[in-house]
Amino acid sequence: MSFSTFVTDKAGLQKFYEAILANNETYAPVEKFGKFDYKRVTNLSECDPASPIAKTLSMKPLFFPRSAKVMKYVATSSGTDVSEVDEDPLANKRVVLGVKHCDARSLQVLDKVYNWDYIDTDYQKRRMNTVIISTRCDKADTHCFCTSLDYDVENLDALDVRVVNGSGDKIFISARTAKGEEFLSEPVSGHMSRITDEVAGPEMKNQYAAFAGSFRLKMDYKEVNARLSKIFDTPEFENVSGNCVSCNTCAFVCPTCHCFKISDEKVKDTGVRYKSYDSCNNGYFTLMAGGHNPRPAKYRRWRQRAMHKFVYYKERFGENLCVGCGKCTISCPVNISIFEVVNQVSVSMQE
Amino acid sequence: MEKLLVPTICKVDKVIQETPDIRTYRLKFRDEGLMEQFTFLPGQFVEFSLLGSGECTFCIASSATRKGYFDCSIKKAGVVTADIHTNIEEGDEVGIRGPFGNWFPLDDIKGKNLLFVGGGIGLAPLRSLIQFCIDNRGDYKDFTILYGARTSADLCYKDEIKEWQDNKSLRVVLTIDKPEETWNDNVGVVPKILEEVVKPVIENTSVITCGPPIMIKYTIQSLLKLGFADKDIITTLEMKMQCGLGKCGRCNIGSTYVCKDGPVFTNEQLKSLPDEF
């Protein structure tokens, strides 16, 4: 199917966002302490859909909450009553504004694990009910490498509606999926003019070319996939992970990391079970009762992290478990970069 | 996903003190209808919750051919298992999710000689298959159980082992690591007794083994030395698991999810995995 493209300007884009906010449950990047997190918003002034990529947290929590109640229970004299928690606050029909392309792509990657075998119906419902409005970046940040990975950033269909800055004051708004096409109907687009691909296409191409030319980091992911898949025992993993303080921040900010833990908390006779983020960098992650731990050393946990992202997930689900957003590197307190880790280990294998 | 993490309440029907640090909990779903529907195959596992303390992974130690209950044998090894030993008595309630994971290759072992090699608490997953095979005895040829523990006090399922010994269609070989005054049976580690006492028939035999990692390692070495093929050596892995659904990311060895693709593997399959278990 062919999708519509509209042309507008800054004021028109503002009006577009305002129309969305007026008629939809809307989430967008909201600034707090210099960082942007995706929150429910009712007024455009509360948020910034053009928030800088390096200061914006992933929207993953809108699909996979940082810590969610799974159930409650009460121990009574006659037995244990287990009750499911209230309705899913993330299951409503909703729109997310200001999503970065890499972050949108991460949902396509996560779909694979959530729709495998046991289907995560909560995730699926959140996903189905969400319209993603994404602005294509104009310039890569220091740690960005999305264009080096296994997805087509220019023609990404992980987002429903794409906003691209054209020359001068022009802004192009295009549907990228059937859901996006439906969304761009009269109420939100009535003030904008339709434009043909012949006219808009070259301008959007130029924008992409300038963006693609701005990357500091470049790699050949196929080469990295191939080299890493041939190695397991290499001292290089010790070299690259030496500074890691096992704080797990990289996993918590990563848009594709999906490991979690199940924990129970009980006060007197009432308890709650939580499902919360966890990380393979955590030394207790694979520790078994009795003391056996298949990944007792930090370099083994880093090997797991790197290999899961660039070998295991690829083998299992056909995608890299990395979208090249650089969030882990930006947030790392000891400046470890996943880009450098996989490249350094790969290169060491070449020599 | 969240709903899949909510357990179903089971009542502890019976607690059997197997050894000083192992107890078997015989469980029944509080909802009798659910108990009737509950079906599993030997080798599968459940997530067992002591609500408020946490959730642990245990294999089902009984066979679904014995109806109306299922057993989990639990060794006191960590925080939650210690809590279970201290706090769970007959009549108490626990949470159960499952069954999860794959099962022993029932089709492949049909019509073959069976050799079970177990050590310590490692007999628990084997017991599920042993009971299943005893209840379908006609489907198998020679049936040998080699079971060892550190001391005679550490042997699990003592009453049931007596039944197995009395069953003329089974050969049961027991061993303990060091001599004891009142012990008149074999003494020596499992691999040694396997080679010197059991002397198994190789042809048309499937070996199913489980025990402490070190025992499994040397048992597999012995089996290979005796001439068994990797594909005929079957074991079940212990890995840290939480969700049992192939999602939480703990149990993988390379791109293999032990909770989904396992926990039962042949030695042939294990050899193709990265050495990280």
Q: Per residue in B8-35, pLDDT tens?
A: 999 999 999 999 999 999 999 999 999 9
Q: How far is B201 from chain A (nearest CA, A)?
A: 34
pLDDT at A182 over 80: yes
Share of chain A above pLDDT 70, in %: 99
Q: How far is A55 from chain B (nearest CA, A)?
A: 28
φ, ψ for residue B242 (rounded to 5)? -130, -55
pLDDT at A80 over 90: no
Whether B242 and A286 lie within 8 Å, measured CB to CB: no
pLDDT at A327 over 70: yes
Structure tokens at A171: 């802004």
Whether B5 and A70 lie within 8 Å, measured CB to CB: yes
Q: How far is A105 from chain B (nearest CA, A)?
A: 19
User: Residue A226 CB: number of other CB atoms within 10 A?
Assistant: 14
pLDDT at B232 over 80: yes
Going across the sheet that includes B171-176, the strands are B186-187, B171-176, B143-149, B113-119, B205-210, B233-236, B264-266
Q: How far is A153 from chain B (nearest CA, A)?
A: 26
| pLDDT on residue B226 | 96
Per-residue pLDDT, averaged over B205-219, amounts to 95
Whether B252 and A113 lie within 8 Å, measured CB to CB: no
pLDDT tens per residue across span B110-122: 999 999 999 999 9
Q: How far is CA A2 from CA A48, A124, A151, A173, B86, in A?
A: 30, 26, 21, 14, 66
pLDDT at A186 over 90: no
Q: How far is B172 from chain A (nearest CA, A)?
A: 29
The percent of chain A in helix, strand and coil, each rounded to the nearest 5, is 40, 20, 40
- Chain A to chain B, count of Cβ pairs less than 8 Å apart? 135
Q: How far is B20 from chain A (nearest CA, A)?
A: 15
Helices B158-166 and B123-134 pack at an angle, to 10 degrees, of 40
Interface check A72 vs B, CB under 8 A: no
- The H-assigned helical ranges of chain B are 32-37, 79-87, 106-109, 123-134, 158-166, 190-193, 213-226, 258-261, 267-271
Who has greater pLDDT, A335 or A233? A335
R_g of chain A, CA atoms, integer Å:
22
| pLDDT on residue A159 | 97
Decide yes or no: CATH 2.40.30.10 for domain B2-100. yes
Are A197 and A5 in contact, with CB atoms under 8 Å apart? Answer: yes
pLDDT tens per residue across span A226-262: 999 998 888 899 999 989 999 999 999 999 999 999 9
| pLDDT on residue B4 | 87
Which of B6, B247, B249 is closest, CB to CB, to A280? B249
Q: Which residue of A has its CA nearest to B53?
A: A264
| pLDDT on residue A170 | 96
Q: How far is B4 from chain A (nearest CA, A)?
A: 8
Q: Which residue of A has its CA nearest to B81?
A: A289
Q: How far is B1 from chain A (nearest CA, A)?
A: 4
Structure tokens at A325: 């957003």
Cα–Cα distance, A302 to A299 (Å, whole number): 5
Band the pLDDT of B199: cuts 50, 70, 90: very high
Residue ranges, CATH 2.40.30.10, chain B: 2-100
Chain B residues lying within 8 Å of A318, measured CB to CB: none
Mutate to test the interface with B, among A118, A124, A301 (most CBs of B within 10 A): A118
pLDDT at B1 over 70: no
Chain A residues lying within 8 Å of B242, measured CB to CB: 260-262
Are A99 and A59 in contact, with CB atoms under 8 Å apart? Answer: yes
pLDDT tens per residue across span A193-224: 999 989 999 999 999 999 999 999 999 999 99
Which of B251, B254, B260 is closest, CB to CB, to A312? B254
Which residue do the tokens 């550490």 mark? B154
Are A28 and A41 in contact, with CB atoms under 8 Å apart? Answer: yes
Q: Chain A, 5-44: which have a CB under 8 Å from a chain B CB?
A: none
Q: Chain A, 247-306: which have a CB under 8 Å from a chain B CB?
A: 258-266, 271, 273, 275, 278, 280, 285-290, 292, 294-295, 300, 304
Who has greater pLDDT, B173 or A85? B173
> What would the DSSP string read from start to end of B203-242?
TTEEEEEESSHHHHHHHHHHHHHHT--GGGEEEE-----S
Are A224 and A338 in contact, with CB atoms under 8 Å apart? Answer: no
Cα–Cα distance, B218 to B233 (Å, whole number): 13
Chain A residues lying within 8 Å of B277, measured CB to CB: 294
Band the pLDDT of B275: cuts 50, 70, 90: confident
Per-residue pLDDT, averaged over A110-123, amounts to 93
Per-residue pLDDT, averaged over B225-246, amounts to 96
Per-residue pLDDT, averaged over B186-206, amounts to 97
Mutate to test the interface with A, among B240, B270, B275 (most CBs of A within 10 A): B240
Structure tokens at A169: 């004051």
Band the pLDDT of A148: cuts 50, 70, 90: very high
Q: Chain A, 193-232: which have a CB under 8 Å from a chain B CB?
A: 232
Q: What is the dihedral of CA B102, B104, B110, B114, to 10 degrees?
A: 180
Nearest one of B159, B184, B169 to B138, comparing CA atoms: B169
Which of B9, B81, B248 is closest, CB to CB, to A260? B248
Structure tokens at A50: 């053009």
pLDDT tens per residue across span A55-72: 999 999 999 999 999 999
Q: Which residue of A has its CA nearest to B249?
A: A259
Are A278 and A245 in contact, with CB atoms under 8 Å apart? Answer: no
Per-residue pLDDT, averaged over A32-38, amounts to 97
Whether B9 and A117 lie within 8 Å, measured CB to CB: no
**For B106-236, which CATH class?**
alpha beta
Per-residue pLDDT, averaged over B203-217, amounts to 95
Nearest one of B167, B224, B164, B166 to B194, comparing CA atoms: B224
Chain B residues lying within 8 Å of A321, measured CB to CB: none
Q: Which residue of A has its CA nearest to B4?
A: A120
Chain B residues lying within 8 Å of A275, measured CB to CB: 1-2, 5
Instruction: Report helix, strand or coil for A7.
Output: strand
Q: Which residue of B has its CA nearest to A124?
A: B1
| pLDDT on residue A350 | 67
| pLDDT on residue A231 | 85
| pLDDT on residue A187 | 87
Which of A226-230, A318-322, B181-185 is predicted with the least confidence, judged by mean pLDDT?
Answer: A226-230
Q: Would you call B4 exposed, middle or buried from its count of C-beta atoms within 10 A (0-12, 13-18, 19+)?
A: middle
- The set of residues, in sequence order, having a beta carbon less than 8 Å from that of B80 and lying 6+ positions away, is A289, B50, B53, B54, B55, B56
pLDDT at A77 over 90: no
R_g of chain B, CA atoms, integer Å:
18
- The set of residues, in sequence order, having a beta carbon less than 8 Å from that of A315 and lying 6+ positions away, is A229, B254, B255
pLDDT at A142 over 70: yes
Band the pLDDT of A88: cuts 50, 70, 90: confident
Indicate whether this model's pTM tops 0.90. yes
pLDDT at A349 over 80: no
Per-residue pLDDT, averaged over A171-180, amounts to 97
| pLDDT on residue A291 | 87
